[in-house]
């Protein structure tokens, strides 16, 4: 079986697709590209990715999200196997999938760098855990 062809597709979704879901897409590509494909999307888009997220991801990981990503609608991504909502509560978008979970992350927009970095590190750990769960087939 060719693992490359059959990698599950994971969508990180939230309403605006400008901050947490973008960070998750970037970290998914950075930390788990060998196990799953990462996408992010929302029910609305923003003209640009959150600039604090862009700045801190460059500083922490050397990833320039503005070069490789943009705010996307749910209709802009392919069908996915796993949906991870970021913690948008009752307004969370719906997307058909085989597995769904909510990470319940606080929105760091407008908060201090320390709070932003805390959310980024939380997403980093959750991506690594998701990677392991997919590798061992526990989803």
Residue 114, token pair as written in the block: 């320390």
Q: CB under 8 Å to 84, separation ≥6 — which residues?
A: 10, 11, 12, 13, 24, 100, 101, 102, 103, 130
pLDDT level of residue 43 (50, 70, 90 thresholds)? confident
Alpha-carbon gap, residue 21 to 23, rounded angstroms: 5
Please determine, for residue 4, whether its predicted confidence score (pLDDT) is greater than 80: no
Alpha-carbon gap, residue 86 to 21, rounded angstroms: 7
Looking at residue 7, its pLDDT comes to 95
Please provide residue 13's backbone torsions phi and psi, each rounded to the nearest 5 degrees.
Answer: -125, 150
Query: What is the rounded end-to-end Cα distance, in angstroms, of the chain?
Result: 19
Percent of the chain scored above 90 by pLDDT? 82
pLDDT in tens, 66-85: 999 999 999 999 999 999 99
pTM score of the predicted model = 0.93
Q: Which domains does the chain have, with CATH numbers?
A: 17-135 (3.40.50.2300)
Beta-strand ranges (E) seen in 8-50 are 9-13, 37-41
> What mean pLDDT comes out for the span 58-69?
97
């Amino acid at each position: 079986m060719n693992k490359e062809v059959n990698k599950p597709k994971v969508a990180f979704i939230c309403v605006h697709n400008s901050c947490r879901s973008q960070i998750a897409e970037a970290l998914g590509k950075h930390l788990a590209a060998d196990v799953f494909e990462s996408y992010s999307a929302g029910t609305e888009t923003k003209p640009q990715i959150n600039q604090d997220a862009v700045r801190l991801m460059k500083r922490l990981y050397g990833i320039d999200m503005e070069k490789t990503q943009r705010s996307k609608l749910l209709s802009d991504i392919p069908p996915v196997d796993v949906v991870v909502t970021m913690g948008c509560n009752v307004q969370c978008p719906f997307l058909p999938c085989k597995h769904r979970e909510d990470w319940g992350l606080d929105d760091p927009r407008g908060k201090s760098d320390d709070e932003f970095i805390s959310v980024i590190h939380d997403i980093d750990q959750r991506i690594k855990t998701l990677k392991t769960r997919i590798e061992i087939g526990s989803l």
